[in-house]
Chain A
Amino acid sequence: MASANYETLGLSSDQVLSMYESMLLARKIDERMWLLNRAGRIPFVVSCQGQEAAQVGAAMALNTEEDYLLPYYRDVGLVLHFGMTAQELMMQGFARADDPNSGGRQMPGHFGQKKNRIVTGSSPVTTQLPHAAGIALAAKMEKKNFVTLVSFGEGSASQGDFHEAANFAGVHNLPVIFFCENNKYAISVPMEKQSGSEHISERAAGYGMPGVTVDGNNPLAVYEAVKKAADRCRNGEGPTLIETLSYRQTPHSSDDDDSSYRTKEEVEEAKQNDSIHTFSAYLRECGVLTETKEKELQEKIKGIVDDATETAESAPYADPETTLNYVYAPKGGDL
């Protein structure tokens, strides 16, 4: 763990502990999803493992009562911190009617929950970036002081929508944070085949905004970068591009076999920097976390994940006929 001191960032010991708890909860939900998938109980998982520090670090730097979030499919840590519950995530995993993201319509990882300002997303990547610019534009037009954060993988930075959205936000000086979670792979394609530049953040200069690359395994470094970008947004100073460097610890999804494009040794080496362990060690060093506390936390989270799984698995599916609902507005709009 880098020597970043949480106190110099203005964080309390309770806050960093809560940071760790969110990271651990995201990891444990994700691990459970894989078990359920391999047991044939849920059809699909797409993972956050390896990116929890970046996600929770970013979420903690935002105002979860008013800021807007446009996550991508790995952002379990971000949506948890913005108010989605473990049970709600499990409802999505099991495609149940009570899934707040979509009522069981979308695959897991397609987040959306209006009450928490988590904006609905799709599967074609990068489409959410222009949406984020649009929400930030609305903030500017309506003279509201909220920040919009949109996240995406490094593969998405190759899409036209990345360029179009960043350029639009640069031109109109919009209060938006482009948050690139570089996990080194877009399914099987490594970063060196994705980008002509070493860092995605280098492109920021072309859009007239600052670009920074931070260690995505260090939640405090990510917190600091996002906090600074959010302050810029609120001060009317415009957008920022942040790139976090981490490593995708799982295959792309439950339907991928990563052994055809990377070695076990490479994955094992990357896991040495697993933020769950390094941040835990850091918090122990600081005296914030003890073995007893860690054990309590693990027990508590296991209970949450167990309950969420049980409740979701026994919850009903939506009625088949509801397939027809909500193509258009229910009243007046239906043709």
Chain B
Amino acid sequence: MAVINYIEAVNSALREEMAQDEKVFVLGEDVGAKGGVFRATEGLYEEFGESRVLDTPLAESAIAGVGIGAAMYGMKPVAEMQFADFIMPAVNQIISEAAKIRYRSNNDWTCPMTIRAPYGGGVHGALYHSQSVESLFAHVPGLKIVMPSTPYDVKGLLKAAIRDEDPVLFFEHKRAYRLVKGEVPEEEYVLPIGKADVKKEGTDVTVISYGLCLHFAMQAAERLEEEGISTHILDLRTVYPLDQEAVIQAASKTGKVLLVTEDNKEGSLMGEAAAIIGEYCLFDLDAPIQRLAGPDTPAMPFAPTMEKYFMMNPEKIEKAIRDLAEF
């Protein structure tokens, strides 16, 4: 199996789906000749031409809205928001339109569209190039939100998102783009949206996370092995709707649960995970459910000292796991 990085997995999934299905096309700002500001669409313009790799005017509501129209017609648009922070002008199109088209038309019209956006911090991106925006969309029935952590999951889940019959928000951690590498099979595969994945089996403490934080949790767990603390790690992969069954199983397994997200703590989707555990696993718990998250500030600042203070890291997670293990 080839080892590729996270963003190569994005590129590879797009290329394969575009080659297989002529209805698939990409639209967004700078996705054409430039290949995207992160180079996620690199080479697609040359391979598939400008009509299928569409540089749009600088207008996010139109990127989403034009995609929605094309999807209703029967195309398979993959829209790119240059940064998740810039998705806000498109929120009306995503929440009022894409999410409700099937429901409001009683299954007459549908919106099979994917919206990709790089999210997350640790890249000196300051307030408006670092945010996690998933919780804004994670109580909107009709949407699915996928946030993979590994190149293997990125490729399999992006292909699934493009093929999905409903709108999917696909958030990619931009710090992970070139930092995270992993094995991806040569042969074709697709992974199921809506299914979490156990990334590490363990017996003492359960960590539930997603995206870049998942890797920090893996690193923390590795260090704690030396102390004899065994960590069970569940990767949500699809953060909305949540894979309830997997969350319940993972929490029940150790009875001590740490929920980790880079998002601001209050109102993050870890509150929902905690509620599910509270509803279904109360008598399996041996310690209070713990949430480890970003502080409740508007976003992370530019100065490296403050950015580091805000960001999740393996040390913060290691301490939290140890505290839970010793509870």
Residues in A lying within 8 Å of B, measured CB to CB: 68, 100-103, 105-106, 110, 112-114, 119-120, 122-124, 127, 129-142, 160-161, 163-165, 167-168, 171, 325-330, 332-333, 335
Contacts A102-B104, A138-B74, A328-B142 known; A127 to B166 CB distance under 8 Å? no
B72 within 8 A of A: yes
Q: How far is the CA of A140 from the CA of B27 in the complex (A)?
A: 15
Contacts A329-B166, A333-B166 known; A114 to B108 CB distance under 8 Å? yes
B64 within 8 A of A: yes
Which residues in A have their C-beta under 8 angstroms from that of B72? Answer: 119-120, 131, 134-135
A238 to chain B, nearest CB (A): 15
Q: Which of B33-41, B90-98, B210-218, B261-269 contacts A (4 or more CB under 8 A)?
A: B90-98
Contact of A110 among B68, B69, B97, B104 (CB under 8 A): B104
B66 within 8 A of A: yes
Decide if B61 touches A160 in the complex (CB within 8 Å).
Answer: yes
Decide if B105 touches A168 in the complex (CB within 8 Å).
Answer: no
Q: How far is the CA of A172 from the CA of B130 in the complex (A)?
A: 32
Q: How far is the CA of A29 from the CA of B238 in the complex (A)?
A: 47
Decide if A165 touches B102 in the complex (CB within 8 Å).
Answer: no
Decide if A122 touches B97 in the complex (CB within 8 Å).
Answer: yes
Decide if A124 touches B69 in the complex (CB within 8 Å).
Answer: no
Chain B, Cβ-Cβ closest to A133: B66
Chain A, Cβ-Cβ closest to B167: A328
Contacts A113-B108, A329-B102 known; A133 to B73 CB distance under 8 Å? no
Which residues in B have their C-beta under 8 angstroms from that of A141? Answer: 25, 51-52, 70, 75
Contacts A102-B106, A333-B166 known; A133 to B69 CB distance under 8 Å? yes
Which residues in A have their C-beta under 8 angstroms from that of B141? Answer: 327
Using a Cβ–Cβ cut-off of 8 Å, how many residues does chain B contribute to the interface with A?
Answer: 47
Which residues in A have their C-beta under 8 angstroms from that of B43? Answer: none
What per-residue 1/0 map shows which CB atoms of B189-215 lie under 8 Å from chain A?
000011000000000000000000000
Contacts A133-B69, A135-B72, A164-B62 known; A102 to B105 CB distance under 8 Å? yes
Q: How far is the CA of A164 from the CA of B27 in the complex (A)?
A: 15
Indicate the member of A110, A140, A160 with the most B CB atoms within 10 Å: A160
B151 to chain A, nearest CB (A): 24
Decide if A134 touches B103 in the complex (CB within 8 Å).
Answer: no
Contacts A113-B108, A141-B25 known; A127 to B97 CB distance under 8 Å? yes
Indicate the member of A122, A129, A333 with the most B CB atoms within 10 Å: A333
Which residues in B have their C-beta under 8 angstroms from that of A325? Answer: 106-107
Decide if B70 touches A137 in the complex (CB within 8 Å).
Answer: yes
A127 to chain B, nearest CB (A): 5
Which residues in B have their C-beta under 8 angstroms from that of A333? Answer: 164-166
Decide if B69 touches A120 in the complex (CB within 8 Å).
Answer: no
A132 to chain B, nearest CB (A): 6
Which residues in A have their C-beta under 8 angstroms from that of B271? Answer: none
Q: How far is the CA of A134 from the CA of B142 in the complex (A)?
A: 20
Which residues in A have their C-beta under 8 angstroms from that of B166? Answer: 328-329, 333
Decide if B61 touches A137 in the complex (CB within 8 Å).
Answer: no
Contacts A124-B92, A127-B93, A335-B241 known; A134 to B105 CB distance under 8 Å? no
A221 to chain B, nearest CB (A): 29
Q: How far is the CA of A254 from the CA of B82 in the complex (A)?
A: 43
Q: How far is the CA of A2 from the CA of B178 in the complex (A)?
A: 68
Decide if A164 touches B65 in the complex (CB within 8 Å).
Answer: yes
Q: How far is the CA of A60 from the CA of B70 in the complex (A)?
A: 25
Which residues in B have their C-beta under 8 angstroms from that of A332? Answer: 165
Q: How far is the CA of A105 from the CA of B142 in the complex (A)?
A: 15
Contact of A168 among B62, B75, B110 (CB under 8 A): B62
Contact of B97 among A131, A165, A327 (CB under 8 A): A131
A9 to chain B, nearest CB (A): 31
Which residues in B have their C-beta under 8 angstroms from that of A114? Answer: 105, 108-109
Which residues in A have their C-beta under 8 angstroms from that of B68? Answer: 130-131, 134
Contacts A119-B72, A329-B166 known; A127 to B104 CB distance under 8 Å? no
Decide if A335 touches B194 in the complex (CB within 8 Å).
Answer: yes
Decide if A327 touches B102 in the complex (CB within 8 Å).
Answer: yes
